[in-house]
Structure 1
Amino acid sequence: MHYDVILRHGELIDGTGAARYSADLGVLGERIAAIGDLSRDTSNTVIDAQGQIVAPGFIDSHTHDDAFVLSVPSVEPKVCQGVTTVIAGNCGISLAPLCADREVPQPLDLLGAWQLFRFPSFAAYLDALDAAPAAVNTVALVGHSTLRVRHMADLQRAANAQEIAAMAADVRESMAAGAYGVSSGTFYPPAAAATLQELIDVCAPLRETGGVFATHLRDETTHIMDSLEEAFEIGRALNVRVVLSHHKVAGKENHGRSVQTLARIDAQRAQQRLCLDCHPYPATSTMLRADRIRQSSRVMLAWSKPHPEFAGRDFHELLSMFNDSIDSAIEALSPAGAIYFVMDESDVERIFQHEMTMVGSDGLPNDTRPHPRLWGTFPRVLGEFSRTRRLFPLEAAVHKMTGLTAEQFGIEERGRLVVGNYADLVVFDPERVIDRATFAEPTLRPEGIEHVFVNGRAVLTNTRLTGARPGRALRRSHMRHIGKANSPALYTSHAHA
């Protein structure tokens, strides 16, 4: 048999959590064509993967790459980590559907300049990705905050019946176009006034289409338990899986409460479908906000539109310039974003070890001085969390980045090394793989990620970008799931973590 690519002598970790095994892997066209002893077969390209791990391409379960995949289609920060699919549209913020004619309210601007919001429908956004492919595949959610900005002149109140109907119609159109679900971010000003009932009513089409409800909880600090209950209630009302975005317990007074939140999540999993994502750092990053500043042990400015020269500076070192007033500083620096050291490392480790925790970078590619998670998340989990700290075996780490995420989001024919699946592949050195990005130098590339293939084509060869852009806008084929929405088995994780 003649293949386009053969990866020889590698140790295969298949994405299910099962133990690694030695085998060759053959690629023909876009697909994995064979796994086994291919020593007698020929190929256009042969890669000797001796001493290397061959795994499914990593799926970044939580990104804000909606515009990045269009504006910087090489998507280098993700490709160099082994990421082959990004899940965009999180935290209630999606690029579509919205045609902006002026500055968009924070945090929508985390996606980029307001001129990028130019898609009258979700279908138009996915079509734009097809017309100008990126190096990675894109799975997209539709953001509730984006819908509010599209349909509401006054964001400081709950939506009325007419506005809810308009937003629900957009959800229906988005799901028909191929969205994988809806995200919310009631933590943020554009959606803070939204009620529980508004969220249920806007997302009502999910009852028929299926999909996920991914949520940045209303409060990840003192009232986190109440916020979890709200998310659970929305999921039950819609009969869909709830994804708890970047699960954390923030603020010094809440450190250690992941014991409580994870126990509550586990108890509720008996009643409904739940999962979560996390990144491997004790700091988070978002728009500049007074509450986050007061909850943090340290704050670094990531960007400031009026004062770009302050990016990377410690926020509290700047206070003397603004009469030592946090509010005055925010007013002078905004719109702006910051990195907040707001979590405890032991909580991060505990959350990461949970069997339903997926890996999501939550990186912000437009920040002047981004959080290092943008460039380091996946190698950090493999090298620091698995190899050095021994929080879980390498097979479990890969499962959290691949098969688990594909199962939870309903991404078909990806996330596992199976003959017939798309050839999204990563080859990495298990002894060398590590992140190099730091808070001081946040854009350093990781080490140990050797080769990356997307839809059968090399996007990284011997650690170098190839320039190929074989990525796709993935569309959820929801029709085959209608009538099965009540079947947890359809999405059940077979984790061995």
Structure 2
Amino acid sequence: MAGSATPARTLLRGGLLIDGSGAPPRAADLLVEGDTIAAVLEPGTGAEGDHAVIDIAGRVLAPGFIDSHTHDDGYLLAHPDMVPKVSQGVTTVVTGNCGISLAPVPPGRALPQPLDLLGPSELFRYADFPAWMQALRDAPAAVNAIPLVGHASLRVSAMDDDLQRPATPQECERMARLLEEALEAGAFGMSTGTFYPPAQHATTQEIIDIGAAMRGRNGMVYATHLRDESDHIDAAIEEALDIGRALGARVVFSHHKLAGERNHGRSVETLARIDRAALLQPVCLDCHPYPATSTMLRLDRVRLARRTLIAWSKGEPSAQGRDYADLQREWGLCDEAMLQRLAPAGAIYFLMDERDVERILAHPRTMVGSDGLPFDPHPHPRQWGTFTRILSRLVRDQGLLTLEAAVHKMTGLAAENYGLADRGLLRAGWKADLVVFDPAQVQDVATFDHPVQASRGIEGVWVNGRQVWDGGQPTGQRPGRVLMR
């Protein structure tokens, strides 16, 4: 959708407006002035005046999508056009999830997995969190960022090379100071990933002690990749809720899932548990629309999954994109020898049940988060197709969600949970983060075999009033901001 990237005033005329609140679609025009929505108008009433006009008849106009769970911390700097995201309508990304953030990690420090999922080691050049935030301001990307501080990154910064132990009180104090520095600079909260080696020996009390700086601050978020997402998920959920209460923070259950065949169907129980907790404390969750997940290569995940696909391997680069079982048959190796030959490596694991995924996505507290790993040579398709897959598969093809409900999950609900006062809805005076798409044609194209493919049907994307995607390519505009609480 061609249009001037930086007009002073632009009228988007003739579209079907879905405002992000969950309200039904309605015909309306929308006037943008600078970085702000100047007015939402009855159809045809804003034709006069000194402004550019873009005809969007037959298209949906919605708030720009908010990706509630990303690992784009370094990608924002290395690839500021953010094509994987703007091509599917995303205008804001939440960074620093799963306990891993690009800062604060001392430059030159050895990077334990999974920190390397954020990109090459040269990106880890910010000894403190405010320095990374300032780098994003100095070299803006095409999308906005909501920054979280990773607990594992705090551990790497404050502890010695032995992370396979609980932190000492002195180390917890150092981590708490680093977190407070980040919060003072505008970070939205802290994430943890006690599922992963750099943090799996952290006690509940360690996390509470480090997070003490969050107490008394409005709108704090505690996002967590649970300690266990399979057999012991109930205890892991309760631990997260305990931490959220202790810190006075909203708990975000990251990429909620039930891993392994024996746990399929248990989303009925876990969602009920989360609903009961919501009566007592602020909670929400995010999810993506795929029955496979992706992370570092781990034998416990290989053994749970019905299929494992190698995303990358430094030990055996030729394994990229290959099926683990096929390689194992060719090489004649046991699991331990396979890991030794491939590591360090990343993998895609098919270990969820489609019905659980759909049930979780349909839940009213669920936001949409891609959880993509943008630097993977053979990434999970969720990096390129999460939002358009929901619009095409779950809305148009299956009718699991109405269009307005899906848009709400991607926009207004996420904005509310992250405390954004002027984004996520189409209202006069709010920031002009916008997406225009064809509801009949929007389609994810990325697949597990060919994951790096831009979606179809996203015809225009605006961030802070400036067009960043014209329907076929990025415009070169980079108006993204580091958002503040």
Please, what TM-score do these two structures have when normalized by structure 1?
0.94
Q: Name the CA distance, whole Å, in 2 between partners of 1:96 and 1:349.
A: 34
1:209 corresponds to which residue?
A: 217
- The alignment partner of 1:284 has SS state of strand
Q: Residues 282-317 of structure 1, C-alpha deviation per residue, up to 9 Å, x if partnerless?
A: 000000000000000000000011222211000111
1:348 corresponds to which residue?
A: 357
Q: Name the CA distance, whole Å, in 1 between partners of 2:110 and 2:13.
A: 52
1:338 Cα deviation after fit: 0.2
Where does 1:33-432 land on structure 2 (aligned, <5 Å)?
Answer: 33-37=38-42, 38-153=45-160, 154-210=162-218, 211-320=220-329, 322-432=331-441
Q: Residues 335-368 of structure 1, C-alpha deviation per residue, up to 9 Å, x if partnerless?
A: 1100000100000000001000000000000001
1:131 Cα deviation after fit: 0.5
Residues 43 and 316 (structure 1), Cα distance of their counterparts in 2 relative to 1, 3 Å cut: farther
Alignment check: 8 A CA contact 2:204 2:239 kept: yes
Residues 102 and 309 (structure 1), Cα distance of their counterparts in 2 relative to 1, 3 Å cut: farther
Q: Name the CA distance, whole Å, in 2 between partners of 1:447 and 1:51.
A: 16
Alignment check: 8 A CA contact 1:3 1:42 kept: no
Residue type at the aligned position of 2:18:
I
- The alignment partner of 1:98 has SS state of coil
Q: Residues 389-429 of structure 1, C-alpha deviation per residue, up to 9 Å, x if partnerless?
A: 11110000000000000000112211000101110000001
- Identity score, percent: 57
**Aligned pair 1:458/2:467, yes or no?**
yes
Alignment check: 8 A CA contact 1:96 1:125 kept: yes
1:29 corresponds to which residue?
A: 34
Q: Name the CA distance, whole Å, in 1 between partners of 2:254 and 2:120.
A: 24
- The alignment partner of 1:371 has SS state of coil
Q: Residues 191-231 of structure 1, C-alpha deviation per residue, up to 9 Å, x if partnerless?
A: 00000100111111111224100000000000000100000
Q: Name the CA distance, whole Å, in 2 between partners of 1:444 and 1:117.
A: 28
1:324 Cα deviation after fit: 2.6
- The alignment partner of 1:416 has SS state of coil
Residue type at the aligned position of 1:82:
G
Q: Name the CA distance, whole Å, in 2 between partners of 1:149 and 1:202.
A: 14
Alignment check: 8 A CA contact 2:457 2:471 kept: no
Residue type at the aligned position of 1:162:
Q
2:10 corresponds to which residue?
A: 5
2:3 corresponds to which residue?
A: none
1:318 Cα deviation after fit: 1.1
Residue type at the aligned position of 2:199:
A
Q: Name the CA distance, whole Å, in 1 between partners of 2:25 and 2:417.
A: 22
Q: Name the CA distance, whole Å, in 2 between partners of 1:403 and 1:424.
A: 12
- The alignment partner of 1:97 has SS state of coil
1:3 Cα deviation after fit: 5.9
Q: Name the CA distance, whole Å, in 1 between partners of 2:467 and 2:68.
A: 22
Alignment check: 8 A CA contact 1:92 1:184 kept: yes
Alignment check: 8 A CA contact 1:56 1:415 kept: yes
Alignment check: 8 A CA contact 1:207 1:239 kept: yes
1:17 corresponds to which residue?
A: 22
Please, what TM-score do these two structures have when normalized by structure 2?
0.96
1:464 Cα deviation after fit: 2.5
Residue type at the aligned position of 2:130:
A
Aligned length: 475
Residue type at the aligned position of 1:407:
E
- The alignment partner of 2:94 has SS state of strand
**Aligned pair 1:469/2:478, yes or no?**
yes
Unaligned stretches of 5+ residues in structure 1: 477-497
Alignment check: 8 A CA contact 2:87 2:471 kept: no
Query: What is the root-mean-square deviation of aligned Cα atoms in Å?
Result: 1.1
Residues 219 and 44 (structure 1), Cα distance of their counterparts in 2 relative to 1, 3 Å cut: same
Q: Which runs of 4+ in 1 moved over 3 A?
A: 37-40, 320-323
Q: Name the CA distance, whole Å, in 2 between partners of 1:462 and 1:442.
A: 19
Residue type at the aligned position of 1:180:
F
Higher alpha-carbon deviation: 217-226 or 148-157: 148-157
Unaligned stretches of 5+ residues in structure 2: 1-6
